[in-house]
Chains A and B, each alone.
Chain A
Amino acid sequence: MKFIHIADVHLGAQPEAAVYSQSRGRELWESFEKILGVCEDERTDLLLIAGDLFHRQPLVRELKEVNYLFSELTATKVVLIAGNHDHLQKDSNYRSFEWNDNVYPLFGKKLEYVDFPELETAVYGLSYYEREICQPLYDDVAAAGIEKNEILLAHGGDDRHIPFDKKKLSRSGFSYIALGHIHKPQALQKDKMIYAGALEPIDQNDVGQHGYVKGELKDGKAAIQWIPFAGREYIHSSVEVERSDTEGSIRKRVKQLINEYGNENIYKITLAGKRDPDIAFEVNHLAEEGCVLEILDETIPAYDFEKLYAENKETLLGRYIEKFAGCEEGSVEYCALCEGVEALLTGNRG
């Protein structure tokens, strides 16, 4: 039995994506269409969608769109649950929508399952009726043993979204547990308990690669493979600034960085290290490259505070530095120290 496990597609979201922001929402739909294309091409038996297919409450026309795409699948059955983002609120369109024959929503508040005897597989799952569920609903679920292969579709894993005990879940008797909610792909247990991660990064903090899980179930044993799929990636990178750097040299290094990782990706760049105290970077100028979302200047002026202190012990400068003894680099205090010293020294120069 061949399956594909995706999660957190978040259709309808409009992620910030610098120059690509305008079309980013569309790209999520395209990526979803593409993964259905993969299902079709590979004659996948089951497509598992582990919640948050939609970013918010789905509109009827969106459901129609999705259902149409599902209906085009000739070999694949689709099982889905509603996550916290697209939870089944009172008037949710999920409740009244009529799905195509090959679509099996598990929209129960309590655990329910759908049986596919021809695949020797049963899929279990429950859906969100609230934005948040703090009860550990998965802690006492168990596979009923109806079929050889039993899959649990689950969504959550943090404090406010069905927290669960990894060990308990691992012992619950399921052959494969398809997890959603956490956007970063990760394996809680090899070949068994897997967060597929968001299909596409949804937020600027969804860094790293994104994709889906492709797997095969045989006699209650899964063998899976995580496949990178997303069209873009958010990259948080830092540029280590040195005393000899100027705005021009930094701009060049930012450009190099982007050339290296590709300009289809979206960047958030932090300038770190120690800069020449005489230079201030205009980060807006540095962010000229279209795919840069943000540049944060966290450089500190390259003052040798120990030396300055030793040389100016009795003076205002020394006493000022003394007040900040022991403060950590990067703290607000440290920033105040730099600002004050800079002001004193430049004030003097002028």
Chain B
Amino acid sequence: MVIRELYVKNFGKLSEKHFYFRDGVQVISGENEFGKTTLHAFVKAMLFGLERGRGRAAAKDDFTKYEPRSGGRYAGVMRFDCGGRHFRLERTFGTGVKNSKSAALICEDDGEELSVEHGDLEMLLGGLTAELFDSTVSVGQLKSRPGEALSDALENYAANYYETGGTELDLSGAVQILREKRKKTDRFIREEADKEERKIQKMLQECEYLEQDMDEIQREYEERKQEWELLEKTIKNQEKEKESDFNKRSDEGTKESRSKYFIAAGLGGLFTGAAGLLWSRFMAEQSAVPSAPFAWIGVFAFVIGVCALAAGGYEAGKKSGKRKKEDARDVPYNNSDKDDERKKKQKQQLEWQMEHLRLEWKEKELRCQNVREQCGDVKESDAGKRLREQREALVMAEEILVRTAKETSDVISHKINARASEIFSEITDGKYRSVNIQKGAGISAWNGMDRISVDRLSEGTLEQIYFSIRMAASEMLLEEPMPVILDDAFAFYDDKRLESVIKWLSRQKKQVIILSCHSREAKLLEHLV
């Protein structure tokens, strides 16, 4: 493919400008701020379109960056040759219009209208994508990041270049993004788990409170029980005591009858004695029958009667004394019956209380059991599940990405190393024979005698290696020879090196467009041609 003409209608700072090109090497030079980089971006926009970005990225994307400064139609025309035919490509970079629809591709030989939308332009570009355009045919300077040595930059660049298959996709950046995302996901997973944990904790806490309550109830129950047992004991004791009292009382009853018996016998004796004496008197008056024995019997009976009376009187006296004592004790005895009743009531109350406590305890236990069951029912939320899946995906993505990079690197480095070495050798006029780029081992240049590691090479040499890799890659990865655009790529080259590079470039069957702010490239080229 050869670019014939670029007509910039309005694009960034460029407005109504025509640029004409031919096959082979050519230089467009101009001061800084002339618009070289803009022109470079214009070529890319013409080939691949320019879409307005969306979201966060929109503010600093190319669409915004190159919106015409002076207003006017944001558009351009490119004429190019491809496969022996001439084409004219027109594009309008507008909002609202879909990119491909705002492009027109016409074959100028027969006026055939081709469809960008249906991929006719892609066919002509032969596999060149915006990605590949950036990483191969469009060459700027090797840029180091702030604080990074140029040699490290080259090493990183080459490693990444190989691992990503000759693109400027940023492998370590991508891995970094995946890891950060994973961390973020981990945090969400933890938050989600915490939420569940809090739920469970809350329930367990409830269980704990319930258990405390149950313990309290249990204690109260034990207290009541003890009280009850004590009461039970005293009631039993009292009953026993009462029983023994009753026995004593019946004992006294027999004593009482004995004293009565004595008194009766005494009275009987007295009476018999008195009757005997009277009878003996009567008999003595009436007859000769000796009355003395009767008198004696009478006296005897009388004496016995007196004795019996005395005994009965004593017993009765003893008894009445006792009775007095017992009467004194009888008052509390009547109270004890009431006390008994009270105690029984108290006992029953205690029983009720105990039953109530038992039921309360059981109710709490049941609730506790229910809450525990509820704990077991807490399920992982769908959001949590989704997060874990996402995490799994992120881990998988990283693993496969790194593995793929390794495989890619193996294939690509093999392919590119050899060709890059050839180019490197040619543009250094044979000073170096080859360049060796290996992941881990770093980059080294071979001059036929020594293997010189990258940190001992000059910046100019590093740039040359960079250039060699890109040129090798563009040959390897592109089906069609594409125009090479070199945007201030040779700032670090001394004249000698520049000459070799331009010589090498002019030997290639390619269109080469050098954008430069120096005039030395142009002069050199004139000289060479």
Partner-A contacts on B (CB < 8 A)? 53-57, 127, 129, 131-132, 163-171, 173-178, 181, 359, 362-363, 366-367, 369-370, 373-374, 381-383, 386, 389-390, 392-394, 396-398, 400-401, 404-405, 407-408, 412, 477
Within 8 A of B (CB), among A250-292: 268, 276, 278-279, 283
Q: 9 nearest interchain CB pairs?
A: A347-B173, A315-B165, A335-B393, A347-B174, A340-B397, A316-B164, A56-B370, A278-B55, A336-B396
Kindly list chain B residues whose C-beta atoms are within 8 Å of the C-beta of A345.
169
Q: Can you list 15 pairs linking A and B with CB atoms under 8 Å apart?
A: A12-B370, A60-B363, A61-B363, A278-B54, A279-B55, A294-B383, A296-B382, A315-B169, A315-B408, A336-B393, A339-B181, A340-B397, A340-B401, A343-B177, A343-B401
- Asked if B178 and A339 sit within 8 Å, CB to CB, the answer is yes
Q: Is A319 an interface residue (CB 8 A)?
A: yes
Q: Which residues of B contact A14 (CB under 8 A)?
A: 374
Contact of A135 with B by CB under 8 A: no
Q: Which of B57, B165, B177, B367 is the one whose CB lies under 8 Å from A278?
A: B57
Q: Is A57 an interface residue (CB 8 A)?
A: yes
CB distance from A56 to the nearest CB of B (A): 4
* Cβ of A349 under 8 Å from chain B: yes
Q: A333 at interface (Cβ–Cβ under 8 A)?
A: yes
When C-beta atoms are compared, the residue in chain B nearest to A61 turns out to be B363
How far apart are A324's CB and chain B's nearest CB, in angstroms?
Answer: 8
Query: A102: CB under 8 A from chain B?
Result: no
A291 to chain B, nearest CB (A): 17
Number of interface residues of A (CB under 8 A): 47
Among A278, A318, A336, which residue has its beta carbon within 8 angstroms of that of B53? A278
Closest to B364 in A: A59
Least CB distance from A284 to B in Å reads: 10
Provide the residues of chain B in CB contact with A336, threshold 8 Å. Answer: 392-394, 396-397, 400
Q: How far is the CB of A327 from chain B (nearest CB, A)?
A: 11
Say which residue of A56, A316, A320 sits within 8 Å of B373 (CB atoms): A56
User: Given the complex, which residues of B lie within 8 Å of A56, measured CB to CB?
Assistant: 369-370, 373-374
A311 interface hit (Cβ, 8 Å): yes
Nearest to B135 among chain A residues (CB) is: A315
The answer to whether A348 and B173 have CB atoms under 8 Å apart is yes
Shortest B405–chain A CB gap in Å is 6
Beta-carbon contacts under 8 Å, A297-350 to B: 297-298, 311-312, 314-320, 323-324, 332-333, 335-340, 342-350
Is there contact, CB below 8 Å, between A315 and B366? no
Do A323 and B400 contact each other (CB < 8 Å), given the known contacts A61-B363, A278-B55, A332-B389? yes
**Are the C-beta atoms of B390 and A335 separated by less than 8 Å?**
yes
Which residue on chain A has the smallest CB distance to residue B173?
A: A347
* Docked CA distance A59–B164 (Å): 67
Cβ < 8 Å to B, chain A residues 49-84: 56-57, 59-61
Residues of B with C-beta under 8 A to A342: 177
Q: In the complex, what residues of B have CB within 8 A of residue A276's CB?
A: 54-55
Nearest CB in chain B: distance from A304 CB, A: 12
- Residues in chain B near residue A317, CB distance under 8 A: 131, 164-165, 167, 169
Residues of B within 8 A of A319 (CB): 165, 404, 407-408
Contacts of B369 in A (CB 8 A): 56-57
Bound form: Cα–Cα A340–B400 in Å: 9
Measured between C-beta atoms, what is the minimum distance from A301 to chain B in Å? 12
A93 within 8 A of B: yes
Chain B CB within 8 A of A91 CB? yes
Contact call B362/A91, Cβ cutoff below 8 A: yes
Question: Are A314 and B477 closer than 8 Å at their CB atoms?
Answer: yes
A61 CB, nearest partner CB in chain B, Å: 7
- Once the chains are docked, how many angstroms separate the CA of A303 from the CA of B247? 110
Residues of B within 8 A of A297 (CB): 386
- On chain B, the residues within 8 Å of A320 by CB distance are 400-401, 404
Take A278-B55, A296-B382, A349-B57 as given contacts and tell me if A315 and B401 are in contact as well, using a CB distance cutoff of 8 Å: no
Q: Are B370 and A347 in contact (CB under 8 A)?
A: no
A316 touching B171 by the CB < 8 A rule?
Answer: yes
- State whether A316 and B54 are in contact (beta carbons under 8 Å apart), knowing that A296-B382, A311-B129, A336-B394 are contacts in the complex: no
Complex Cα–Cα for A297 and B374 (A): 29
Q: Which listed residue (A268, A315, A349) contacts B167, Cβ 8 A? A: A315
